[in-house]
Homo-oligomer: A and B are copies of this chain.
């Protein structure tokens, strides 16, 4: 070990400096892991186990991916004040317990909302205009043999009901306005800053929409929010896009409605029992299936690193968090 020019013991100093770094418990259950540990370690003292002797003193937990944070997990952390999340949805965290204990939660919404919105629009155009289905048709060599592929339907002028006008929903609305769509929305509460028509009742929104785009949080209240009644209200020409969570839709009833033509089609990035997808969907021409990747691009992961570091630094310097989740 080299001594420094002035003779001090660098290693000892470094250890002392580390001790002064703020404590952060990294909660990453397999297969989730953190890709930028080095960067975090230069600013925070990372702990990776609930059994650490430091755990009772930890005020911040960094939750990687959808690693479950149960009330049991929280019981190990009596000093916890904040959970910094790295996913857009936070249904893997016991939010009721957080609310009870006054623990704040942040999510990754701002990093992922643009990608999520882009993907929702991509799925929507794909379903309406039959892009993936037509791609299969061309690749199978059917164009010269069978002639023109059936036409799809125009996006412009369609009435789009956005279920959940949060980070992603707002970005979806912004894009669809440029396509000439008519927007309405459903959410827990009417938003005073928004001029789009608000429907407190999801069936009423469906009855007045050609398309439903699902991008709300999964909670006890929104579990199976989209059921057969909603799909019946949407009608035979209706299209559903889901970039939220699989369990927002009653998947069994969705499959039935798609098979029986009770709705026109669906673009699904999420499913109730991922990675398992109902096999009945594999044979349908009126669906586009995606393996839960709406929100993710390398660019959004880079943005997420900034957001996580920003939230941690804001917490430790008593500044407003960058992406707090509304727990009310």
A residues with a Cβ closer than 8 A to B are: 114-115, 118-119, 121-123, 125-126, 129, 131-132, 134-139, 141, 143-144, 147-149, 151-157, 174-175, 177-180, 274-277, 279, 282, 288-291, 293, 296-300
Min CB–CB distance A28 → chain B (angstroms): 16
- Tell me if B151 and A293 are in contact (CB < 8 A): yes
Inter-chain contacts of A179 with B (CB < 8 A): 114, 118, 175
Residues of A contacting B: mostly: helix
A126-B131, A131-B122, A179-B175 known; A289 and B139 CB under 8 Å? yes
Complex contact A125–B121 (CB within 8 A) = yes
Residue of B nearest to A31 (CB): B147
A298 touches B121 (CB 8 A): no
| Cα distance, A144 to B275, chains bound together (Å) | 5
The reply to whether A144 and B299 contact each other, CB–CB distance below 8 Å, is no
Bound CA–CA A297/B290 (angstroms) = 25
Q: A135-B290, A149-B291, A276-B144 are in contact. Are A157 and B125 (CB under 8 A)?
A: no
Cβ–Cβ contact B275 & A143, under 8 A = yes
Q: Quick one: which of B121, B154, B155, B291 contacts A134, CB cutoff 8 A?
A: B291
Pairs of residues from A and B, 3 with the lowest C-beta to C-beta distance, nearest first: A122-B125, A154-B299, A178-B178
- For A291, list chain B residues within 8 Å (CB): 134, 137-138, 143, 148-149
